[in-house]
C-alpha cells in the first residue's frame, strides 16, 4: 500500500484531533482529551507554533475529497538541555490500527530522527506508558533508553489550578 | 536581602553558562557540559529561541567575592500537550549556594534539588535551589508559572530524581503530582549512535 509523509497543514487539524483521540482511546484515557480543533489550529499554525506535525496519508480511500486518508501522525516540538543543547521532543506518535505493519511508524521515526540531526539536536525525547508493552519494545529495539528506569527520572506536573496557586507570589 | 527577577537577555549568557558549569563542577561532572556561552547566545537569543531564561540578581553591595550579581536563574520553554494544549517546561532552576538562606523562623533551610533533563549518568544532583527564607528559588519558580499562565499554558512540567525525597515532598506539597507514579509514564531518550542509526534510510 502506497503511503507518503508530509508536513501537516491547517486543513489537517480535524484529522490530527481524530488521531489524538484514537491514541487516547488506545491508552484508555479518551476522556482526558480537552484540546479543540480551534486550539490546535491557533497553536500549530499561528505566528509562533507550539508544535509541529508530520502526517502519513494513503491513497485510495475516499475520506477526503482528494482521495487521501490520514492514517498516522507525529506531533513534536524542540526543547533544550543546558548541558548538551537542542532536543527534539516527540509528543505524540500514532498509526491507525488497521494500517500498522506497513512500516509507516518506522518511516515517521526515521523522518523525525533525520530532522533532529539536521537541526543539530543531540537527542530525541518522549514518554511512554509503562504498561504499553508493544510501544516500549518498539522504542527499545531502536536503541531508546528508559531514563525513568535507568536513572530514576520522574515527570512532575502542576495542572491549571495548582499552576495558578504557584504563580501567586508568596507572602514574606 | 533584596533581589530582583527579570527576563534574561543575551548579555546574561556568560553568567548562565557560569552557573550551569558551577553546578556541574561542584558535582564533579563538568565534562558532561558541552553547551558553551556562544551556544546559549545562539540557541536562546536568536529569531527562533529554543529556550527562555529568567535571572535573579542582587544589588552591587551583595555581590559575591568574585563580583557576581547574577546569582540564580531558571530556564524554560513552551511545550504542548496533545490532550490539554499549551504547556510550559521548567528545565533548570538554580540559586548559588550562598544565596540560599535560613527560614525566617530560624529553621535550617531545606535544600530542594530540582532536576532537569540534562541528567548525569551517575544520577547526581543536577541543580539545586533552596526554597526557604530568602525565597529566591521559589520566586523564580513562581515567575515561570506566571509566564506560563500569561502565555495561555495549562500545565507546568519538570522532572525530579526518584531518590530525592526532600524535593519530591516539597513539590508534592506545592500541589503538583507525580506523572510517572500516577500514570506510569517513563521518560525515554534516543541519542548518539541510536539516533544516527534511526535516521538512516
Contact A29, A1 (CB under 8 A): no
* Region for residue B174 given its phi and psi (left: phi exceeds 0; alpha: psi -120 to 50; beta: otherwise): alpha
Residue listed under C-alpha cell 525566617: B104
Give the residue among B135, B127, B142, B140 at the shortest CA–CA distance from B174.
B142
19-48 of A, contacting B, C-beta below 8 A: 20, 23-24, 29, 32-35, 39, 43
More confident residue, B28 or A106: A106
What is the distance between the alpha carbons of residues A55 and A17, in angstroms, rounded to a whole number?
A: 12
Q: What is the pLDDT of residue A62?
A: 54
More confident residue, B23 or B69: B69
Q: Residue A62: how many CA atoms within 13 Å on its side-chain side?
A: 0
Residues in chain B: 201
Of B20, B35, B156, the CB nearest to A158: B156
Instruction: Dig out the grid coordinates for B55 from the structure.
Output: 535571572
60-79 of A, contacting B, C-beta below 8 A: 75, 77-79
Give the residue among A99, A79, A97 at the shortest CA–CA distance from A5.
A99
Q: What is the mean pLDDT of residues B128-148?
A: 74
Q: Write out chain B residues lying below 8 Å of A142, CB-based.
A: 190, 194, 197-198
Give the total number of structural domains in chain B: 1
Residue partners of A70: CB distance under 8 A and separation at least 6: A12, A15, A16, A18, A19, A55, A56, A57, A63, A64
* Region for residue B185 given its phi and psi (left: phi exceeds 0; alpha: psi -120 to 50; beta: otherwise): beta
Q: What is the pLDDT of residue B108?
A: 31
Is A109 within 8 Å of B189 when comparing Cβ atoms?
A: no
Whether the pLDDT of residue B118 is over 70: the answer is no
Q: What is the pLDDT of residue A59?
A: 83
Whether the pLDDT of residue B113 is over 60: the answer is no
Tens of pLDDT, residues B88-102: 999 988 889 889 853
What is the distance between the alpha carbons of residues A36 and A49, in angstroms, rounded to a whole number?
A: 16
More confident residue, B45 or B109: B45
44-83 of B, contacting A, C-beta below 8 A: 44, 50-51, 75, 77-83
Is B123 within 8 Å of A89 when comparing Cβ atoms?
A: no
* Chain B interface, best mutation among A37, A43, A80, A146, by max B CB count within 10 A: A80
Is A148 within 8 Å of B156 when comparing Cβ atoms?
A: no
Structural domain range at position B169: 4-199
Residue partners of B101: CB distance under 8 A and separation at least 6: B1, B109, B130, B132, B133, B134
What is the distance between the alpha carbons of residues B81 and B75, in angstroms, rounded to a whole number?
A: 19
The ipTM, to two decimals, is 0.90
**B144 — pLDDT class (breaks 50, 70, 90):** very high
Tens of pLDDT, residues B74-87: 999 999 999 999 99
Contact B94, B129 (CB under 8 A): yes
Tens of pLDDT, residues A37-71: 999 999 999 999 999 999 999 986 555 556 789 99
* Chain A interface, best mutation among B22, B79, B190, by max A CB count within 10 A: B190
More confident residue, B169 or B50: B50
pTM above 0.80, yes or no: yes
Fold of A3-147: Aminopeptidase (3.40.630)
**B39 — pLDDT class (breaks 50, 70, 90):** very high
**A–B: how many Cβ contacts below 8 A?**
273
Q: In CATH, what number is assigned to the domain containing residue B43?
A: 3.40.630.30
Ranges of chain A whose pLDDT falls below 50: 171-172
Whether the pLDDT of residue B173 is over 90: the answer is no
Whether the pLDDT of residue B103 is over 70: the answer is no
Q: What is the pLDDT of residue A64?
A: 55
What is the distance between the alpha carbons of residues B41 and B56, in angstroms, rounded to a whole number?
A: 18
Is B197 within 8 Å of A86 when comparing Cβ atoms?
A: no
Is A148 within 8 Å of B186 when comparing Cβ atoms?
A: yes
Residue listed under C-alpha cell 508568596: A170
Q: What is the pLDDT of residue B115?
A: 41
3-class state of residue B51 by DSSP: coil
Give me the residues paired with residue A89 across strands. Answer: A77, A125
What is the distance between the alpha carbons of residues A85 and B40, in angstroms, rounded to a whole number?
A: 8
Instruction: Dig out the grid coordinates for B78 from the structure.
Output: 513552551
Q: What is the pLDDT of residue B114?
A: 39
Q: What is the mean pLDDT of chain B?
A: 82
Q: What is the pLDDT of residue B129?
A: 38
Is A148 within 8 Å of B139 when comparing Cβ atoms?
A: no
Q: Write out chain B residues lying below 8 Å of A122, CB-based.
A: 34, 191-192, 195
Tally DSSP H helices, then E strands, for chain A. 6, 7
CA-based end-to-end distance of chain B = 58
Q: What is the pLDDT of residue B132?
A: 36
84-123 of B, contacting A, C-beta below 8 A: 84-86, 89, 91-92, 104, 115-119, 121, 123
Tens of pLDDT, residues B123-134: 223 333 333 345
Q: How many C-beta atoms surround the C-beta of residue B79 within 10 A?
A: 20
- Domain chopping of chain A, boundaries: 3-147
3-class state of residue A52 by DSSP: strand
Residue partners of A18: CB distance under 8 A and separation at least 6: A70
Q: What is the pLDDT of residue B138?
A: 85
What is the distance between the alpha carbons of residues A94 and A138, in angstroms, rounded to a whole number?
A: 12
Q: What is the pLDDT of residue B107?
A: 31
Active site residues of A: 139
Q: What is the mean pLDDT of residues B110-139?
A: 44
Residue A149 contacts B where some CB pair is shorter than 8 Å: yes
Amino acid at each position: 500500500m502506497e503511503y507518503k509523509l508530509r508536513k501537516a497543514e491547517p486543513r489537517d487539524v480535524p484529522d490530527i484531533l481524530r488521531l489524538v483521540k484514537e491514541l487516547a482511546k488506545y491508552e484508555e484515557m479518551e476522556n482526558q482529551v480537552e484540546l479543540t480543533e480551534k486550539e490546535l489550529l491557533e497553536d500549530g499554525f499561528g505566528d509562533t507554533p507550539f508544535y509541529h506535525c508530520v502526517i502519513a496519508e494513503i491513497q485510495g480511500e475516499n475520506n477526503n475529497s482528494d482521495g487521501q486518508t490520514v492514517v498516522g501522525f507525529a506531533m513534536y516540538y524542540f526543547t533544550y538541555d543546558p548541558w548538551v543543547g537542542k532536543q527534539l521532543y516527540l509528543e505524540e506518535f500514532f498509526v491507525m490500527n488497521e494500517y500498522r505493519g506497513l512500516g509507516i511508524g518506522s518511516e515517521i521515526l526515521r523522518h523525525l530522527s533525520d530532522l533532529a540531526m539536521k537541526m543539530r539536536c543531540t537527542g530525541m525525547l518522549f514518554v511512554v506508558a509503562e504498561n504499553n508493552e508493544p510501544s516500549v519494545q518498539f522504542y527499545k529495539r531502536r536503541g531508546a533508553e528508559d531514563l525513568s528506569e535507568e536513572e530514576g527520572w520522574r515527570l512532575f506536573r502542576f495542572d491549571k489550578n495548582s499552576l495558578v496557586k504557584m504563580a501567586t507570589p508568596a507572602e514574606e | 536581602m533584596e533581589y530582583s527577577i527579570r527576563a534574561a537577555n543575551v548579555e546574561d549568557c556568560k553568567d548562565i553558562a557560569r552557573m550551569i558549569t558551577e553546578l556541574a563542577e561542584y558535582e564533579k561532572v563538568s565534562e558532561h557540559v558541552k553547551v558553551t556561552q556562544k551556544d546559549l547566545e545562539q540557541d536562546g537569543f536568536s529569531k527562533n529561541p529554543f529556550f527562555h531564561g529568567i535571572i535573579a540578581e542582587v544589588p552591587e553591595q551583595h555581590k559575591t567575592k568574585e563580583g557576581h550579581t547574577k546569582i540564580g536563574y531558571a530556564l524554560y520553554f513552551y511545550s504542548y500537550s496533545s490532550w490539554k494544549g499549551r504547556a510550559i517546561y521548567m528545565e533548570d532552576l538554580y540559586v548559588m549556594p550562598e544565596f540560599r538562606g535560613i527560614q525566617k523562623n530560624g529553621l535550617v533551610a531545606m535544600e530542594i534539588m530540582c532536576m532537569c533533563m540534562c541528567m548525569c549518568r551517575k544520577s547526581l544532583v543536577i541543580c539545586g535551589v533552596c526554597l526557604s527564607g530568602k525565597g529566591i528559588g521559589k520566586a523564580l519558580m513562581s515567575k515561570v508559572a506566571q509566564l506560563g499562565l500569561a502565555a495561555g499554558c495549562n500545565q507546568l512540567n519538570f522532572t525530579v530524581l526518584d531518590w530525592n525525597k526532600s524535593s519530591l515532598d516539597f513539590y508534592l506539597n506545592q500541589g503538583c503530582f507525580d506523572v510517572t507514579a500516577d500514570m506510569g509514564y517513563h521518560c525515554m531518550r534516543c541519542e548518539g549512535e541510536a539516533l544516527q542509526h534511526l535516521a538512516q534510510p
